[in-house]
Amino acid sequence: MIVTVQQHILHDQKQFPGASGEFSWLLSGITLATKMVQARVRRAGLSDILGDAGDTNVQGEVQQKLDVYANEAMMHCLSARGSIGVLASEENEHPRLTAHCSPEAHYAVIFDPLDGSSNIDVNVSVGTTFSILRRPEGADCDDPEQWLLQPGKKQVAAGYVVYGSSTILVYSVGLGVHGFTLDPSVGAFILSHPNIKMPAKGKYYSVNEAYRDDFPPGYNPFIDRLRKGELGTKYASRYIGSMVADFHRTLLKGGIFLYPPTADHADGKLRLLYEANPIAFLAEQAGGIATSGSRRVLDIQPTSIHQRTPLIVGGTTEMTEFIRHVRHED
């Protein structure tokens, strides 16, 4: 039986205490925007959408033309949802209040519209990440950051879309992790990966080893053990440089993805709210573990909307061994 993402969301929504159709309507805004983005990605070499846009974002990164388009698509599609009061994009310095910021606006949506966009010119997979938070009790529209500065364990849903050889949406509302592949012939995301479970042990590790000399204590001895096969398997290195793609492989195949702090980026480079929290939420829902190297990612209390963090995520075997190394329990 064919199950679309809309059907699946409606089924999951029934298990939410007090949920109504507003939640499925919210998520439909995300699926619509990501379909628009994938259509542009598919035509990237045939239209004037490659290259940089001639500007930088709040992170100080050069914006690609597709960054701008993806951000506008997400903002446009989600602003029309009356259940959303606050939108926050990795591309914008400040969160945006929607026109519907009223007592009926129950959610904030946080997203990275196009993760890994610097790879688009060389035809490497890119993605979109999103996180959904419930409006805190008593929060009003005068303080949108109050909606956003919640630890990741408060997420009511999170997910990503990876634009690769196929376009796949992976999401969770805290009831397991499910993947949907876009069927271009009908324009719908179809359930293709039900109840994803991250393997407890894999055979790949993913990290940018060009920065090994700057990794904190414990990281390199751990990586050396993986390479030597001291965990029972001789691990191979697989690093794409697009976080969504690297995590998608780790989610399906197991192993470990590491984005450590370095001397130049002592607090890490990934954004806590836009990237690390949704990935950590999905990892835990699939039976994996996500840490900043010192604590569970989902327990971190954010202090700013563009806060950065290290991220190490993977299966229980690799993560247990990693945590032992960084805690100097050898």
Reported as a single tens digit per residue, the pLDDT across 22-70 is 788 899 999 999 999 999 888 765 555 554 544 555 555 556 788 899 9
Mean of pLDDT values over 293-307: 97
Per the model's pLDDT, the better-predicted residue between 14 and 76 turns out to be 76
Helix axis angle, 21-42 relative to 5-13, nearest 10°? 160
Do residue 184 and residue 209 come from a single domain?
A: no
Mean of pLDDT values over 93-119: 87
198 with 286: CB under 8 angstroms? yes
Amino acid at 260: P
pTM of the entire predicted model = 0.93
Least confident residue range of 10-19, 190-199, 240-249: 10-19
- CA dist 327 → 216, 261, 274 (Å): 11, 15, 27
Do residue 106 and residue 20 come from a single domain?
A: yes
Do residue 114 and residue 255 come from a single domain?
A: no
pLDDT at 330 over 50: no
Rg (CA), the chain: 19
Phi first, then psi: what are they for 314, rounded to 5°?
175, -165
The whole-number pLDDT of residue 103 equals 82
Do residue 158 and residue 18 come from a single domain?
A: yes
Q: Which helix (H) or strand (E) holds 133?
A: strand 126-134
Do residue 292 and residue 315 come from a single domain?
A: yes
CA pair distance 252, 244, nearest whole angstrom: 12
pLDDT at 204 over 50: yes
CA pair distance 203, 226, nearest whole angstrom: 9
Per the model's pLDDT, the better-predicted residue between 190 and 46 turns out to be 190
Q: Which domain holds residue 300?
A: 204-326
| Start-to-end C-alpha separation, the chain | 51
Do residue 16 and residue 76 come from a single domain?
A: yes
Do residue 139 and residue 282 come from a single domain?
A: no
User: What is the number of domains present in the chain?
Assistant: 2
Mean of pLDDT values over 202-215: 96
CA pair distance 303, 160, nearest whole angstrom: 24
* Paired strand residues for 108: 86, 133
Mean of pLDDT values over 87-103: 87
pLDDT at 329 over 50: no
Where residue 171 falls among pLDDT bands split at 50, 70, 90?
Answer: very high
